Amino acid sequence: MSRPAPFVRFEDALRSGRAVVTCEIASGDSADAGDIVRRARLVRDHVDAVNVPDNTAGIVHVSALAASAILVREGIDPIMHVTCRDRNRLALQSDLLGASALGVRNLLCLTGDHMIHGDQPDAKPVFDLDSLQLLVLASVLRGGRYLSGRAIVPAPDLLPGATENPFAPPYDFRPQRLMKKIEAGARFIQTQITFNVARFAAFMKGVRDLGLDRRVPILAGVAPLRSARSARYMQERVPGMEVPDAIVRRMEQAGPERTRREDEGIRICVEIIEQLREIPGLAGFHVMPIHWEEAVAAIAERARLRPARATLAAPLVAGVLDEGPRPREHRA
């Protein structure tokens, strides 16, 4: 079987020099591929690549590898999240090889949320590697070797990326940790969700001082809030997230009516994108809509974010999409 060819490669977009836009979709919560396809189609025309999370917060979902392969069939270039929580180095190597064989090329190498916050806290935490060592592993595989040194012919075609969280202590160390990740083989960076732009700007200053923005493209994470309740939840309950009181207050003032609060959430997100645009050294944006894929189109339109594929001729789009088997259409 030949490798399915990704439609527009994420790497091409990163190289293009224009602002890149990626987004995350919620991974499927059932054996229905249609659910993943439906979510992916809501965002596909607005982004360069789609992130597929790997059991976020330690709650079991469809495997990131399977969901990524489904996206490849849809003509979308997925960014597969790979975490060290559930798999040791053997499983990670075989998953990365399998991903490459299925046409999944972009990896986001993460340590992974601890399962203590999930719904099965009794599971054994693996953490055989950490995110840095996972980046090294991906680079070793790319270079045509297993960790044992045994040769891989042909070597997997992988584009490993990493994250950094500018909003968690020790703040001064975060740019240095980013440097470590780049040294370990990260080829792109997606950050944690930004609500505190001042903190992000300070982080980027550290990044620029180390010259890291010239070495890899850095995409700033943003997310739309949907209600005052979710804003407060993120502020109080999600470790590593910083939601300033001013933003929670704005969401409260928007009131309980759905259209108004959702509109306010998107407006805040677009405002943050506009503020982030003023910060030198950013290559684009990573939207994390948190189960609200419909918001991506609105954010992209209002913030004037455009994927590379929008500039391609329409017949080519149709031609590529009609190729190959496609998963069953989900009819709601």
Partner 1 sequence: MPLTSSFKLEVPAGVRRFLRRHPRLTRALERVVLPIEATGKKIVFGCRMCGQCILHETGLTCPMGCPKTLRNGPCGGVRMNGHCEVVPEMMCVWVKAERRSRWLPWRRTIVRIQPSLDWSLAGTSAWVNVLAGRRGKETS
User: How far apart are alpha carbons 109 and 132 in whole angstroms?
Assistant: 8
Give the angle 283-56-192 at the CA atoms, nearest 5°: 30
Tell me whether residue 44 or residue 181 sits nearer to partner 1 (CB atom). 181
Nearest C-alpha neighbor of 166 from the set 305, 282, 24: 282
Minimum CB–partner distance for residue 117 and partner 1 (Å) = 8
3-class SS of residue 107: strand
Tell me whether residue 73 or residue 117 sits nearer to partner 1 (CB atom). 117
3-class SS of residue 110: strand
User: How far apart are alpha carbons 278 and 266 in whole angstroms?
Assistant: 19
Tell me whether residue 183 or residue 274 sits nearer to partner 1 (CB atom). 183
Residue 327 burial (10 A CB sphere; 0-12, 13-18, 19+): middle
Tell me whether residue 248 or residue 305 sits nearer to partner 1 (CB atom). 248
Binding to partner 1 (CB under 8 A): which residues in 153-172?
A: 163-165, 168-170, 172
Binding to partner 1 (CB under 8 A): which residues in 73-112?
A: 84-85, 89, 111-112
List 23, 25, 36, 129, residue binding partner 1 (CB under 8 A): 129
Q: Does 302 bind partner 1 (CB under 8 A)?
A: no
Q: Does 196 bind partner 1 (CB under 8 A)?
A: no
List 18, 73, 117, 326, residue binding partner 1 (CB under 8 A): 117
Q: Is the dihedral of CA 93, 44, 178, 126 positive or negative?
A: negative
3-class SS of residue 106: strand
Phi and psi angles of residue 201, each rounded to the nearest 5 degrees, phi first:
-65, -40
Q: Does 133 bind partner 1 (CB under 8 A)?
A: yes
Contact residues: partner 1, CB under 8 A: 84-85, 89, 111-114, 116-117, 125, 127-133, 136-137, 139-140, 147, 163-165, 168-170, 172-173, 176-177, 179-180, 183-184, 192, 210, 239-240, 242
